[in-house]
Amino acid sequence: MPPAGKTRWYPSGLLVLILVLVWLPVRRGLTQEPASWSPGLVRGIQTYCLDCHDATTAEAGLDLTALLQGPPAGRADSLRQVLDALDFREMPPVDAPQPTAAERAEWIQTLRQALQHLAPTVAYPPTPIRRMNRFQYNNAVTDLFELQCVVFTLPERMMRDHSGYFQPQSGRMPDVVTVGSRPLGKSQMIERRLAGVAAFPQDLRAEHGFDNQADHLSLSPLLMEAFLKLGESITQSPDFVPRNVGIWKRFFAPPAGSADTSEVLTGRLRPFLTRAFRRPVDSETLQRYVGYVQGQLAEDVPFPEAMKNVAAAVIASPRFLYLYDRADSGTATGTVDDFELASRLSFFLWGSLPDEQLLELAERQTLSQPHVLREEAVRMLQDRRLKRFCDSFPAQWLQLERIISATPSRELFPDFYYLKYRDSMHMMLEPLLLFETVLIENLPVTHFLDADFSYRSNLLEEAYGELASNPQAVNQPGGQVGPLKFRRVALTDRRTGGLITNAAVMTMTSGTERTKPITRGAWIASVIFNHPPQPPPADVPPLAEHPSGAEQDLTLRERIAAHRQRSDCRGCHEKIDPLGFALENYDVIGRWRDRYENERPVDMSGSLFRQHEFQSVVEFKDALLSEKDRFSRGLAAHLLSFALARKLGAADQAAVDHIVERTAEDGDRLQTMILEVVLSPPFAAKSPGRLDGGGDARFEPAGPQARPSVRQVSPPQTLEQP
Amino acid sequence: MNAWNRRTFLQGLGGAALALPWLESLSLAAPSTTAPTRMAHFYVPIGVVRRGFFPGEADHVIPKGNLGNVMQSLGQQDPNFSVRPLDQLTPTLQPLEAIKHKVTLLTGMDRVFQQGTDVHAQCASCYLSSARPYTVQGTAWPLQRTLDHVVADQIGKATPFATLEFSCNSHRDNKESIYFDNISWYGTGHLAPSIRDPRQMYRRLFSTSEISRYREVTGLVLEDARSLQQQLGSTDRQKFAEYFESIRAIEKQMARLEKMRAELAQTPFEEPTDAYLPRGDYIRLMGDLMVVALQTGLTRVATFMVGPERWDTPYMFDGLFDKPRSHHQMSHNQTREIDDLLKIDRFHMEQFAYLVQRLDAIEEADGTTLLDNTLFTYGSGLGDGSTHQYNDLPIIVAGGGRHVRTGQHLNLPEGTPLANLWLTQAKLLGLPLQEFADSTGTIPDWVVR
C-alpha cells in the first residue's frame, strides 16, 4: 500500500486501467450494449446502500462502490445478491430511509436486464466427476441385473408402498393407499433383499441441498474397499439366484454345449457393459472383460461363477461407479453428447441408469432433439421408476429427515407417543403423499402452498384435533404401527392443507418444549423460496426452552425480541421472523392453539416481504399465493439443482426464470415444470474443463489446497502390478 | 445366549497380544534397532469444566448458561511461560495419578475461530488442521489435510494402514453434521470416515481372506480407470485421482497385510459380537483395538474420537447416570449440571488413562514401552463447553518419553497456537516441516535432544 495522501491519484488511475481491461473482453462477447444505470439508480445506490456497503464498512462482505460504474463484469453473483435483497424487500433495513415503490420496481427491472446481458458471458458452474451415492448405486445395480428385490434397505427411501398405489401412467392416485414409514415404522425396514450385503454409509444431504451434490461425493480408500466388497457380496449373495435375477438366462446361465465361448461371451458382455457404463463399449475394453472370464473358465471356474465374478468387477469399475461428463465429446460450445444426456435424464427422474430405449436414441443421436427429449421425459414421468424420484427429491427438498429425530417432550405432549411409537411415523408420510399426488395427477404446484385435500390416517386425523378434515369422526381406532392406511380427505378449513402447515413440518421445526419461529422462518425461506438465511453468528446463544422467571409472562415473540438486540442480527431476522411467527398458531406437534400456556393470545400477524399484511394463517396463505411465482421460482431452482447435482450459479438464473414463465403459462403444473427443467439450456450444458493433451497427469498433486506439499506421490508403476 | 464379553476379548489381548512384537521384519520399514515412533489422538468433545481440569482455576466463576458469545475464559490465566513439575493433579486429572510421570500437561494454547460456521463444527473438524483463518478457498471451514494424514504421508507408507480412524459415536441417527463427527480429513471437504463398530474395525485389521480376489478385480478395473482418465477434463482428472489413490491404498494394504497374516493369525483374538456394550466397555474395546494396531505395526497413526461434538440426541453413560444424557445440552447448564459434567470429564479421563496404561504395559523389542514411543494426545477443541472458547485448551500429551521431557506442566505464553504442538509432533515424527497450519513455532523446553 502506498502511503496515504502521497500518491493518491496513482491507485485510482490504476483502477480505471483495470476496469478498462476487464471491460474489453466482456464487451466483445456481447451482441448488444450492456444495460447502463439510470441516474436514479446511481443516486439510489449512493443514498440507500453505501452507508453499510462501501469499501470500509462492506457489511455482509458486500462493497457496492464498484456498482456505481455500471453493471460489474464477472460479478453476476453479487449483482444477483443485490437484486434479491431488493426484490425480497430485505434492503434497505426497516429502520432506514426507503425508496418509493416505483423506484424500487425500476431498479429491480434494470438489474434484471443487466443480469440478462451478463448471462452469456458467465459460464455454467461445472458439475465435478462424482461417485454414485448409495441410493443411485442401489437403483443402478437393481436395474442392471433386473433384480426382483432390493439390494439393501435404505431408510432414506422414506415411504414404502404396500398397496401398489404408485401408478403414474394412470394419472390418478387411489383414494385409499397403504404405506409404511421405513425410518420410523414397525418392521418397515424388513423387505425382500439380497442377504449378506452390507450397505455403505448413507450419503448426507448437503446443507440446503441434496445428497447427490457432486462436491460431497468423493471416494476414500475405505469406501473403495466397501465398493469392492459390496460388488462381490451382491453376486455372492445366497439370494442372487435365477428367480431373483431377471437377466440370469441372458447373462449368467451356461450356454448350450456347442456354442463358441468367445462368441457367447462377447455377445453377452457387450450389452451388459453398454448398459453398466451408459455408453457403447470399445473393443479393447470388451476384450479385456472377455479375457478375464476366459481365464476363469480355463481355471475350471463354473460358467455362472465366472460370470458372477466379472459382474462384480464391472460394478466396481469407475465407468460404472462414477458419473461424469467427458471432455472429449459433445460440442465445442459445451453441450453434452446424447449418451451423457441419457444419463442426466435417467439419474434425474429414475435415480439410475438409462434404459435400453434411451441408449438406443442416444446411439441414433436423436435424443437431443427437443421433441424427442420431451417425449422421452414424458414417457419417464409415466413409468413406475419415477418412484425413485419421489423417494429422493421431495424428502430432501423438504428436509424431512429432520422429523426422524424430533422428540417433543413426553410430559408436555404425551399424545405424540403411542404404543412404543411416535405420531411422526404418520406425519412424515402426509407431505410425501401430497407431493406424489401433485406429480402423478399433474396438479398446479400451488397445491404445495394451499391444498383442498390431503391423505391422512385415522391416527393423523386424531392428532390434528380441530384441524381434522372431519373433527366429528376422529375417534376411530387408528394406532397402526406397520403398514398404515391413508385416505384422501377433502379439506374445507384453510388453516390446514398444503405443505407448510403440515404436522410434520410444524413438529420438525419445533424444539422439545416450545415452537421455534425462527427455525420455521428459516425453513420457509430455504425450502419454499430457496432463499436460505445466512447461518447465525456462532457467538449468539440460542433461546432457552424454558422461559426464565422474568420471562414467564411474555409471549414467545416478546422473548425473542428481548433476546435479539444486536443490530447485526436484525437484518436476517426481519426477513425470516415474520415467516415463522405466521405459524405460531401451530404448537410443537402441529395442533391449533389460540393461546400460549400462560394464556397470552398468540399474535401471528406480520407482513410477507414487507408488502402483504396478514392477520391470520389464511391471510398468510393468501399472501403466499399472491407471491406464487416466487415459490415457483424456488421450486424450479431446487429441481434444477437436484437434476444437475450442483449448486446453481448466476448463469442458471435466466433458465430458472424461463422455466417459471413456461410453467405459469401451463397453469403451474408440476410435470410441466419438470419438463421445462429437462428442456432448459443448463440441463444440456457441461463445462468439464480442458482436456489436457498427452502427459500422464494422474498422480499430479491436486493443487495446494487439496494436498500439502509434504505429500509424496508414488510413481504409477506400483499400480500396474496385478 | 452369547457368552462373549469384552473380558474374553481382553484375555486374548492380555495373553498373546501383549507378547506381540512390532512386526518389523515383516513390514516394509527399514530395519532399525529402535522402536518406531507412533502418534495417536484422543479427542474429547464439548470442552471440559475448567474448574475441575485446570490447575489454579478451582475457584474460578462457573459459567452460567450458554455463553456462546463470550468465546474466552471467564477467569484469568497466567499469560507467561512456565514449567512446573506435574505433581498435584486436579480432580479431573486424578485418573492419571499412577502414570503422571509419563505425562505432559500443556495449558495456554489457543486456536482462532473463523466466523461463519457453527462453533462446534469447526472446533472438532479443524482441531487437527486449524489453517490460518480465511486462507482456504471455497469452504466455510479453515480445514486442510489434517495432521494425522500429513504425518502418515511420511511415516505411513510402510504399514498396512497409513492411518486408522476410530470413533465412539454410538448414535444411529445421521441427524447432525459430518463436521461435528470427524476430526480426521484427507483435505478440505473430504473426510476420512471413522469406524464406530468394533466388529467392523476388527475385520478391517485382521481379515485377509479376500486379498487375491481383490487383486484380480482391481487389475481389471484399473484399465477402465486409465482409459476413462484420458477422457476427463483437467479439473475432473484431479478429483478422479482419488480413485487411483483408493485402489493403490488398498493394494498396498493388501500386500502388507498378507505379509503379516501368518503372524497375526497366531493371536487368538476373538471377533467382537454385536452385543450391547456399556459405554465404558465400548470405548475401551475400541481403544484396545487401537493399541494393538499401534503395537503390531498395522499403523503408526491413529485418531480416536471418544464422542461426537454437539449431538443433541442423548446417549447412555452407563454407570454414571440412570438415563441417557446429552453431553452438549448439559454443557450449556454448568451451574446446574456441574457435578454431572465433572463426572463425564472424569469418565473420559479414565478411558484415556486406561489406554495410557495399556500402552505402557507393552514392552517393545528395545526394552522401552509402547507408550515411550507414542505421542498420545488428549485434547478438546473447546476450552469450555459453555463459553465455547477456542483459547486455553485442555491438552495432555501422554508418552513420547523417548523424545520429550515428561512429568511436567507447561504453561505456554499467551497466544500460543495449538498448531505449535502439532508442528512439534510432526517434527518429532521426522517430518521436515517449518510450519503447520497457523503455527508460529514449536513448544519450548519440552523436546529432549
State the smallest CA–CA distance between residue B24 and chain A in angstroms: 22
Residues composing chain B: 449
Check CB contact under 8 Å for A201 and B239. no
Tell me what pLDDT residue B59 has. 93
Instruction: Give the mutation candidate from A705, A711, A712 for the B interface (greatest B CB count, under 10 A).
Output: A705
Tell me what pLDDT residue B317 has. 93
State the smallest CA–CA distance between residue A635 and chain B in angstroms: 24
Q: Are B405 and B81 in contact (CB under 8 A)?
A: no
Amino acid at A485: K
Check CB contact under 8 Å for A319 and B224. yes
Check CB contact under 8 Å for A688 and B219. no
Cell of A160: 414404502
What residues form DSSP beta bridges with A181?
Answer: A159
Check CB contact under 8 Å for A689 and B244. no
A286: contact with B, CB 8 A cutoff: no
Q: Which stretches of A45-157 are DSSP H helices?
A: 50-53, 76-87, 101-118, 134-145
Greatest extent of chain B over all pairs of C-alpha atoms, in Å: 67
| Regions of chain B short of the pLDDT cut 70 | 1-33, 68-69, 115-118, 137-140, 172-178, 189-190, 207-213, 261-263, 265-269, 449
Q: Which residue has the cell 423460496?
A: A529
Check CB contact under 8 Å for A700 and B225. no
State the smallest CA–CA distance between residue B238 and chain A in angstroms: 5
Tell me what pLDDT residue B345 has. 97
Question: What residues in A contact B178, CB-CB < 8 Å?
Answer: 204
Tell me what pLDDT residue A705 has. 32
Radius of gyration for chain B, computed over Cα atoms and rounded to the nearest angstrom: 22
Q: Are B426 and B410 in contact (CB under 8 A)?
A: no
Check CB contact under 8 Å for A689 and B235. yes
Q: What is the rounded end-to-end Cα distance, in angstroms, of chain B?
A: 56
Q: Are A416 and A408 in contact (CB under 8 A)?
A: yes
Radius of gyration for chain A, computed over Cα atoms and rounded to the nearest angstrom: 29
A329: contact with B, CB 8 A cutoff: yes
Check CB contact under 8 Å for B233 and A221. no
Residue B338's contacts (CB-CB under 8 Å, 6 or more residues apart) are B49, B51, B62
Residue of B136, B154, B244 lying closest to A705 (CB–CB): B136
Question: What residues in B contact A707, CB-CB < 8 Å?
Answer: 145, 187
Q: In terms of CA atoms, which chain A residue is nearest residue B72?
A: A539
Alpha-carbon dihedral angle through residues A8, A11, A16, A21, given to the nearest 10 degrees: 170
Check CB contact under 8 Å for A688 and B251. no
State the smallest CA–CA distance between residue B360 and chain A in angstroms: 30
Please give the average pLDDT of every successive group of 10 residues along chain A, which has 722 residues.
38 39 36 64 85 79 79 74 83 83 86 78 80 90 93 84 96 96 78 68 61 66 71 84 95 87 95 96 95 92 94 92 84 82 97 97 96 98 97 93 83 86 92 98 97 95 90 67 92 95 95 90 92 69 70 79 66 82 96 93 91 94 95 96 89 91 97 98 82 36 30 28 27
A225: contact with B, CB 8 A cutoff: yes
Check CB contact under 8 Å for B144 and A708. yes
Tell me what pLDDT residue B268 has. 58
A201: contact with B, CB 8 A cutoff: yes
Q: Are A153 and A191 in contact (CB under 8 A)?
A: yes
CB atoms within 10 A of CB A519: 16
A316: contact with B, CB 8 A cutoff: yes
| Residue-by-residue DSSP string for A653-698 | HHHHHHHHHHHHHTTTBHHHHHHHHHHSHHHHB--------SS--T
Cell of B123: 472446533
Interface size A-B, in CB pairs within 8 Å, comes to: 226
Question: What residues in B contact A329, CB-CB < 8 Å?
Answer: 231
Composition of chain A by helix, strand, coil, percent to 5 = 50, 5, 45
Check CB contact under 8 Å for B190 and A329. no
pLDDT digits (tens, 9 = 90+) for B82-116: 999 999 999 999 999 999 999 999 999 999 987 65
Instruction: Give the mutation candidate from A216, A292, A322 for the B interface (greatest B CB count, under 10 A).
Output: A322
Instruction: Give the mutation candidate from A59, A225, A307, A336 for the B interface (greatest B CB count, under 10 A).
Output: A225
Check CB contact under 8 Å for B190 and A228. no
Q: What ipTM is given for this predicted complex? A: 0.74
User: From CA A611, how far away is CA A427, in angstroms rounded?
Assistant: 33
Q: In terms of CA atoms, which chain A residue is nearest residue B143?
A: A705
Question: What residues in A contact B229, CB-CB < 8 Å?
Answer: 698
Cell of A396: 430432501
Question: What residues in A contact B254, CB-CB < 8 Å?
Answer: none
pTM recorded for the entire structure = 0.67
State the smallest CA–CA distance between residue B224 and chain A in angstroms: 7
Check CB contact under 8 Å for B224 and A201. no
pLDDT digits (tens, 9 = 90+) for A507-534: 999 988 999 998 999 999 999 999 888 7
Check CB contact under 8 Å for B174 and A706. no
Tell me what pLDDT residue B57 has. 95
Q: Which residue has the cell 482391481?
A: B218
Greatest extent of chain A over all pairs of C-alpha atoms, in Å: 94
Question: What residues in A contact B232, CB-CB < 8 Å?
Answer: 129, 324, 326-327, 688, 691
Residue A136's contacts (CB-CB under 8 Å, 6 or more residues apart) are A212, A323, A347, A351, A352
- What residues of chain A, 670 to 699, have a C-beta less than 8 Å from chain B? 688-692, 697-699
Question: What residues in B contact A77, CB-CB < 8 Å?
Answer: none
User: From CA B195, how far away is CA B277, in angstroms rounded?
Assistant: 16
A302: contact with B, CB 8 A cutoff: no
Check CB contact under 8 Å for A404 and B251. no
pLDDT digits (tens, 9 = 90+) for B220-276: 888 898 889 888 887 788 778 878 887 777 777 777 777 776 667 666 567 787 788
User: From CA A638, how far away is CA A656, in angstroms rounded?
Assistant: 10
- What residues of chain A, 636 to 675, have a C-beta less than 8 Å from chain B? none
State the smallest CA–CA distance between residue A402 and chain B in angstroms: 7
Cell of A338: 446424447
User: From CA B118, how far away is CA B128, in angstroms rounded?
Assistant: 17
| 3 state DSSP class of A454 | strand
CB atoms within 10 A of CB B393: 24
- How far CA A693 is from CA of A613, A702, B239, B242, in Å, comes to 61, 17, 18, 21
Residue of B71, B144, B252 lying closest to A539 (CB–CB): B71
Check CB contact under 8 Å for A700 and B116. no
A319: contact with B, CB 8 A cutoff: yes
SS (H, E, C) chain B: CCCCCHHHHHHHHHHCHHHCCCCCCCCCCCCCCCCCCEEEEEECCCCCCHHHHCCCCCCCCCCCCCCCCCCCCCCCCCCCCEEEECCCCCHHHHHHHHHHHHEEEEEEEECCCCCCCCHHHHHHHCCCCCCCCCCCCCCCCCCCCCHHHHHHHHHCCCCCCCCEEEECCCCCCCCCCHHHCCCCEEECCEECCCECCHHHHHHHHHCCCCHHHHHHHHHHHHHHHHHHHHCCCHHHHHHHHHHHHHHHHHHHHHHHHHHHHHHHHCCCCCCCCCCCCCHHHHHHHHHHHHHHHHHHCCCCEEEEECCCCCCCCCECCCCCCCCCECHHHHHCCHHHHHHHHHHHHHHHHHHHHHHHHHHHCCECCCCCECHHHEEEEEECCCCECCCCECCCCCEEEEECCCCECCCEEEEEEEEEEHHHHHHHHHHHCCCCCCCCCCCCCCCCCCECC
Check CB contact under 8 Å for A224 and B250. yes
Q: In terms of CA atoms, which chain A residue is nearest residue B154?
A: A711
Q: In terms of CA atoms, which chain A residue is nearest residue B140?
A: A535
Instruction: Give the mutation candidate from A133, A135, A223, A228 for the B interface (greatest B CB count, under 10 A).
Output: A228
Check CB contact under 8 Å for B210 and A229. yes
State the smallest CA–CA distance between residue B435 and chain A in angstroms: 11
Check CB contact under 8 Å for A691 and B234. yes
Tell me what pLDDT residue B6 has. 40
Tell me what pLDDT residue A693 has. 38
State the smallest CA–CA distance between residue A720 and chain B in angstroms: 8
Check CB contact under 8 Å for A327 and B222. no
